[in-house]
Amino acid sequence: MNTTLIIMAAGIGSRFGEGIKQLAQMGPNGEIIMDYSIHDAKEAGFNKVVFIIRKDIFKEFEEIIGNRIKEQIDVEYVFQEIDDLPEGFEVPEGRTKPWGTGQAVLCCKDVVKEPFVIINADDYYGKEAFVKLHDFLVSGEDGQIKCDSEEVQEWISPEDKVSMNMWAGYPEFLDFLAEDFKDFLANVEEGDLKSEYLLPNIVDKLLKEDRANVKVLETQDRWFGVTYKEDKETVQEAFRELIADGVYAEMLWE
């Protein structure tokens, strides 16, 4: 069965500072986080990757990762743009904020016709997560939070579950997004320039309307990611440790 990895890489990353955070070098030979995610996905059995990006970063994106990755796996690009709206809708005057992860995934509707997994470009999820989700998608069968920050741990418990934007689904979900996005836009209040169409909210709506079932698959791998420029050194060190432990080769794609 064909399965696709969808990578959301269109975010502006305003909190990161200089450069495009999705393309920040993290590995010893210039690898970025996406290199490791695609490597893990391919190893788990995924045979296509779809990059969701902005048109203004396409050239740089292709130079840094696209041209290299297409030698490893089938690649498609789709573009998330603020003015890519259903017929009858227009961008509110003054809006500059993107429409969110739901619209990003909707951009894939014409190129994704098979079971898929969605991830953030700037998050590392670990090998086990891709294996479990691939096996779940193929077979139809088949967490816990640990936090290093004492400050955050005060308001989050080990039993809580949060979305790290790693979702598995089927093409019917994209059909739902095509109609539901119209409903979202129709209910954006005048003057609201920041509301976003977000995957966790969409899934929550489906659950509340008893229109979908969601299963949480547990993994023991450690998640890490990049939000601020200060995170870069921590992520680089995490990859150095994974390489030292033999999880990855120093030359990832050789």
Domain assignment of residue 251, yes or no: no
Domain assignment of residue 22, yes or no: yes
pLDDT of residue 145: 44
Residues of the chain short of pLDDT 50, as ranges, are 14, 17, 143-145
pLDDT of residue 139: 86
Q: Which residues pair with 116 in a beta bridge?
A: 4, 169
Do the beta carbons of residue 4 and residue 48 sit within 8 Å? yes
Domain assignment of residue 254, yes or no: no
* Neighbouring residues of 6: CB distance < 8 A, sequence distance ≥ 6: 49, 50, 52, 105, 108, 112, 116, 117, 118, 119
Residue 233 belongs to domain spanning: 4-244
pLDDT of residue 155: 57
67, HSE (Cβ side, Cα atoms, 13 Å) = 7
Domain assignment of residue 91, yes or no: yes
- Where residue 182 falls (left for φ over 0; alpha for ψ -120 to 50; beta otherwise) is alpha
* Neighbouring residues of 195: CB distance < 8 A, sequence distance ≥ 6: 184, 188, 189
For residue 21, the domain's CATH number is: 3.90.550.10
The pTM for the full model equals 0.89
Domain assignment of residue 252, yes or no: no
Domain assignment of residue 105, yes or no: yes
Number of domains in the chain: 1
Domain assignment of residue 189, yes or no: yes
pLDDT (tens digit per residue) in 201-232: 999 999 999 999 888 888 888 889 888 888 89
Backbone Cα Rg of the chain: 18
Domain assignment of residue 13, yes or no: yes
Percent of the chain exceeding pLDDT 70 equals 87
